[in-house]
Amino acid sequence: MKPLPHNLPSPHVRGVGPRGFPLRLQATEVRINPVEFNPDFVARMIPKVEWAALLEAADTLHLVEVPKGPIEGYEHDEKFLRQMHHVLLEVDVLEGTLQCPESGRLFPISRGIPNMLLSDEETET
């Protein structure tokens, strides 16, 4: 699971405030996958980044060299784009959890796949 911040799911648990986004990421196993650098693609993702969530995830994953926010002229700043490319696309959480900050509910990530299914009780209408 890649930690694209807007990708970070919001738990849809009833009774949990308005959409409890974002979830807290904890990882016990992370892999770095080289992905071909496409500056245009990365540049287009930047406006969608939720920076607070990204920085929190980066911190959790002990990533270094993560920009703190979009910089002026980022579209043409290769260094910036490469750093963003790395954190958005090359980091893969294989094992870990996503936790709802309000309810504490944990969603497992295993073999790179988060399981966001809610139990019957949680979905009772």
Q: Which two tokens stand for residue 60?
A: 């959790």
Residue 99 near other proteins by CB under 8 A: no
> How many residues line the site for other proteins (CB under 8 A)?
30
Contacting residue, 41, 51, 95, 102, with other proteins by CB under 8 A: 41
User: Going edge to edge, which strands form the sheet with 91-99?
Assistant: 24-32, 91-99, 106-110
Q: Is position 11 an interface residue for other proteins (rule: CB under 8 A)?
A: yes
**From 8-16, 24-32, 64-72, 74-82, span contacting other proteins (CB under 8 A):** 8-16
Binding status of residue 45 toward other proteins by CB under 8 A? yes
User: To the nearest 10°, the Cα dihedral for 90, 92, 66, 77?
Assistant: 20
Structure tokens at 100: 């709802």
The Cα–Cα gap between 59 and 11 comes to 21
Residues that bind other proteins (CB under 8 A): 1-2, 4, 6-7, 9-12, 19, 21-22, 40-41, 43-45, 48, 107, 111-118, 120, 123, 125
